[in-house]
Amino acid sequence: MGGLKTQKRLAAAVLKTGKGRIRLKDTKEVGEAITREDMRALIKKGLAVKIQKKGAARVSAVKRLAQKRKGRRSSRGSRKGKLGARLDRKQLWIKQTRGLRMLLAGLREKELVEKSDYKRLYRMVKGNAFRNRKHLMFYLRENDLLKKAGQKTPQPMKAGGK
């Protein structure tokens, strides 16, 4: 295509686009077009065409997102970022601590743990002494801090009394 620079510029102006998106058929008729009016006529005939912009297809991205919503594609190899980026350390701490505190409160309510032990265990939970609920229960059984349900605690004798 030689010597159609002016025609390409005219076509771009008429079609309101860049020169790179214009395709001209290399005919004598196109070479003779020197006005915008001539170019409009050629566009109607289909000798000057505006090329469609290329877009990025979103089909695969939409499919992937649908899978992720279902909980797929989240295995170790698919993860990006550190664990702290996926789940905030503070939020994890709050979740774990609340679980342990609720367990302790339930045990105290059922009178399976004494008040003094409860206070000490509560502080231990705050000090991150237990990994999880199972670990806390293991600790209670190991140290005989769990009473059997309905078991009375022996009351300490008063000084000088029988």
The count of structural domains within the chain is 2
Q: How confident is the model at residue 86 (pLDDT cuts 50, 70, 90)?
A: confident
The neighbouring-strand residues paired with 23 are 49
- In angstroms, the Cα distances linking 132 to 129, 140, 145 are 9, 13, 17
Which range of residues forms the domain containing residue 117?
86-142
Query: Cα–Cα distance between 85 and 128 in angstroms, integer?
Result: 22
Residue 67 included in any domain:
no
Check residue 83 and give its pLDDT. 85
Q: Mean per-residue pLDDT for 18-45? A: 92
Shared-domain flag, residues 46 and 91: no
Residues 90 and 44 in one domain: no
114 in a structural domain: yes
- Please give the mean pLDDT across all residues of the chain: 90
How do residues 143-152 score in pLDDT, each as one tens digit?
999 987 655 5
Q: What's the pLDDT tens digit per position in 34-61?
A: 999 999 999 999 999 999 999 999 999 9
41 is a domain residue: yes
DSSP state of 14: H
Domain for residue 31, yes or no? yes
pTM of the model: 0.50
